[in-house]
Amino acid sequence: MKKFTEKLAESISFKLFTIVVLVLLLLIPTAFVKSLIKEREATRNSVIYEISSKWGNQQTVTGPFITVPYYTYYKKDKEVIKQQSFAHFLPEQLNITGNLNPEIRYRGIYKVIVYNSELEIRGNFLAPSFKEWKVRPEDILWDEAYLAMGISDMRGIKDELKINFDNATYDVSPGVPNLDLISKGINSKIKLADKDSFDFNFKLNLNGSEALKFIPIGKTTNVEINSDWNTPSFDGEFLPDPRNVSDSGFQANWQVLQVNRTFPQKWTGSKYNIYDSQFGVKLLFPVDQYLKSFRAAKYAIMFIGLTFVVFFFSEILNKKRIHPIQYLLVGIAICVFYVLLISLAEYFGFATAYIVGGSATIGLITLFSKSVFKSTKLALMLMSILIALYTFLFTILQLQDYSLLLGSLGLFIVLGAIMYLSRKIDWYKPIQRDNNSIE
């Protein structure tokens, strides 16, 4: 029985099987690391929500548009029923210009992007017409017509809002009488004179966080936004053209025509969803440490496996006997690297955290391997390989668009190196012992 145990312990195949089992076992702490990263990200998101809920959430600006109530009739059990319906008329021209002034708010170790936007909104309407719907003139409630505008988070409005419509100034009221187009916003009763068109203009001072979006409800919608934030992300159904992003900020211009969107210039009821056509800009931090840390953690098993391969070949080629517990300790050290990475990244940023955490982990494994191998040369060789691996991973994380290409090429090179090193190994021969090996 003792001879069988010794023979099994000296078997290369059994050693490989043991290493594979250890790698699979280390999936457990790797899963805990990923869970920790997600938990910290959720905590960050709750802080963002808390600050945004007080300052102003992501804002979506819609409008303005004109709504005119009217009566319709239908029969029910031989009785004619009269009910009120709503017709909606969108502006012929809608021009929005403004400045987006970002600010970083801190809560503990977390930071949130908020902004104040100073918007000037102007344009014109054609006179509302009911001819195509064959509505009787006496059923149109012109006296109840109102101008409405959608603002997704009303808490963000900072100054008293007054609308200049057809050379008259109107106060606004919160809320909208009808929910066909928008659910939140402001409205103002207006007088529609007997004329062909109506001009409007007003200024909107609006607080928000992370993103500012618009709905292109003009037959021609022009939006120009300027900001000193230099890492924007242009989002939605339409991209700005032209746009200019530099270290000093960005300038973006959108032009959206009626034919570019999915709804007409006027309709009745709630036939269309205008939010499908929204566009705008998000203010992003240059690096999302949680996203990059989670992506890095996905490579943990590959790192553990490659490090074990280095130890395995050192054991076989240099006759340095290594105990499975020593393999396990090295694997745990690699898992701890990712815990260091996320904890340091929250304070110092991802790049600094990666360098510090990686250096500490490489140093720890190198010192440990020196005592295991009883060879400074082998320890330095392992350190060089680990430096190459961690540099390779950092490069992949930085080049997100080319990560698959670079990763596949790297794995191909590693496979080639393993095949080259293993070409002369007699897999049926027992592992040779070294007198200086640790039992």
Contacting residues for 362 by C-beta, under 8 A, at least 6 apart: 383, 386, 387, 390
Identify the pLDDT of residue 108: 84
Identify the pLDDT of residue 5: 58
Rounded CA-CA distance 385/380 in Å is: 9
425 pLDDT band, cuts 50/70/90, is confident
353 pLDDT band, cuts 50/70/90, is very high
pLDDT of 357 > 60? The answer is: yes
Buried-state track 386-401, b at ≥16 Cβ within 10 A, e below 16: beebbebbbebbeeee
Whole-number average pLDDT of the chain? 89
Contacting residues for 225 by C-beta, under 8 A, at least 6 apart: 97, 98, 99, 100, 212, 250, 251, 252, 281
CATH number given to 58-286: 2.60.40
Identify the pLDDT of residue 400: 67
**Cis, bond preceding 64 (omega within 30 deg of 0):** yes
439 pLDDT band, cuts 50/70/90, is very low
Rounded CA-CA distance 36/45 in Å is: 14
Domain range summary for the chain, segments of one domain joined by +: 2-42+290-421, 58-286
321 vs 364: which has the higher pLDDT: 364
Rounded CA-CA distance 240/263 in Å is: 21
Rounded CA-CA distance 238/251 in Å is: 15
Identify the pLDDT of residue 10: 66
Contacting residues for 288 by C-beta, under 8 A, at least 6 apart: none
**What sign for the dihedral angle of Cα 401, 406, 409, 415?**
negative
pLDDT of 215 > 50? The answer is: yes
* Percentage above 90 pLDDT, the chain: 59
Predicted model pTM: 0.81
Distances (CA, A) of 67 to 126, 142, 188: 13, 10, 10
Residues 302-318: what's their mean pLDDT? 85
Of 4, 13, 2, give the one whose Cα is nearest residue 429: 13
Identify the pLDDT of residue 1: 54
Task: Note the pLDDT tens digit of each residue in 268-290.
Answer: 998 899 999 999 999 988 777 89
Identify the pLDDT of residue 408: 86
Angle, to 10 degrees, between the axis of helix 350-373 and the axis of helix 376-398? 160
Residues 7-34: what's their mean pLDDT? 84
Of 289, 294, 309, give the one whose Cα is nearest residue 31: 294
305 vs 439: which has the higher pLDDT: 305
Identify the pLDDT of residue 2: 52
Of 333, 325, 322, give the one whose Cα is nearest residue 365: 333
- Across the chain, which distance is largest between two alpha carbons, in Å? 108
Residues 391-412: what's their mean pLDDT? 84
Identify the pLDDT of residue 437: 43
Residues 128-149: what's their mean pLDDT? 93
pLDDT of 436 > 70? The answer is: no
438 pLDDT band, cuts 50/70/90, is very low
